[in-house]
Amino acid sequence: ILNVEQSPQSLHVQEGDSTNFTCSFPSSNFYALHWYRWETAKSPEALFVMTLNGDEKKKGRISATLNTKEGYSYLYIKGSQPEDSATYLCAFNRGSTLGRLYFGRGTQLTVWP
């Protein structure tokens, strides 16, 4: 069983707050780490895919970092807005089963106006 852990499970913040959440994954046989944003009743939307240790990706107010040696990734949201409210999922690609994603349970973010 391959465990991908996300924390916290849920998060409530005020508009304008910055926030971050964690994804931890097995550091062996690593290939790629994916972050998805999933709004209720919509399709999960790909945010980032990262492959190299030390990778940093940014899209607007959202950024992510990757540490493959210790097996974790952080997702940061700067100046949260109500439209950022969603579930953020991370998913791990192993080198031996490349087409298969192993997902965490997600972090549910609610941003209050």
β-pairing verdict for 5-7 and 72-77: unpaired
In the set 10, 27, 29, 51, which binds another protein (CB under 8 A)?
51
Q: Which is nearer to another protein, 14 or 40 (CB)?
A: 40
Burial per residue of 1-30, b for 16 or more beta-carbon CB atoms within 10 angstroms, e otherwise = eeebebeeeebebeeeeebebebbbeeeeb
CB 89 within 8 A of CB 103: yes
Show Cβ contacts of residue 85 under 8 Å, excluding neighbours closer than 6 positions: 39, 109, 110, 111
Closest contact distance (angstroms) between CB of 20 and another protein is 19
Closest separation in Å from C-beta 64 to another protein: 14
Q: Which is nearer to another protein, 21 or 36 (CB)?
A: 36
Q: Which one of 42, 60, 83, 113 is in contact with another protein (CB under 8 A)?
A: 42
Q: Is 28 in the site for another protein (CB under 8 A)?
A: no
In the complex, which residues of this chain contact another protein (CB under 8 A)?
4, 6, 31-32, 34, 36, 41-44, 46, 49, 51, 89, 91, 93, 97-106
